[in-house]
Amino acid sequence: MRPFSPPWWAKNPHVQTILPVLTKVESPALSRQRLELSDGDFIDLDWLGDPCNASSIVVILHGLEGSSDSHYVRRLLRDCYRSGLCAVVHHHRGCSGEANRLARSYHSGDTQDISATLAYLQQHFPQAKLNAVGYSLGGNVLAKYLGELHDNSAIDRAVVVSAPLQLSACAKRLEKGFSTLYQWHLIKQLRQKATDKFNNRTIVNQAAITLKQVCTLKTFYQFDHQVTAPLHGFEGADDYYAKASGLGYLSKINRPTLVIHAADDPFMNADVIPSASQFSADVTYELHQHGGHVGFIDGGTLFKPRFYLEQRIIHFLTINNEHIEPSESLN
């Protein structure tokens, strides 16, 4: 397949990051299934195709505050449909359009819920190989899962896209320059979810802060220190970032895994880029000079951009392909 090479008008990282949101493609029809979890909560799965007759299933993990409606998920579902592939979107808790039942939510290092989904798939569709694609936060979760499980991984092949593999560095990056706008947009959504839980009294007895204090949280570090960490058993944001970051797990992965980063990703900096000694022989690493955050526009027009990601993902998951060198690798 062709290497990634962005057109001149899409070399700006913010064009790569924002334009895909504004040019969403139509998604094929999906069917929803609810999985009840052992702790009394639930997660929702959105299905494309019939898993009972599938030889493989593409399991999709979306990013922070994403869903099956996210632009990148829509595009992958569309191309899976065109390729005749069965796929399922694993929604993180509270991301499927309905608030989850418990005070806890989801976080960048939470491999418990994806493990539950994969166990369900293995039990009910044993004939199907499980391939996985994780975007951004979902990519960090996927990398951590693969490294934690080693030989016991339920996944056969995986692709990790624009993952914040060093969470502390990414939190700092989002406090600078134009990237603060992305932080503001996402923090606003997270604060609203926390506020809703206070109003529904889901979180009142377990929160480390008050409802009034939620409105003062303006950065990821503040939110993770005051909300994410205490609700999920971490001592604070620093403890959460250290334990949940996926970078240290790349060397333990023993399933064919493709990791794709852009050096100009406005959500992260060079600290997320692994050295050759930090990933195993089963990891194929692609670092592109351009691409933004979950962008990778490589052609088309402003009103109808063409993307590299879906073709690369499906190629990697379905073909025992040789390594493809990025056309704009950084040495």
Active site residues: 136, 265, 293
Tell me the C-alpha distance between 94 and 219, whole Å: 21
Tell me the C-alpha distance between 46 and 20, whole Å: 21
Tell me the C-alpha distance between 191 and 251, whole Å: 35
Q: How many CB atoms lie within 10 A of CB 261?
A: 24
Residue type at 38? Answer: S
Pick from 150, 155, 119, 147: which is nearest to 243 by CA?
147
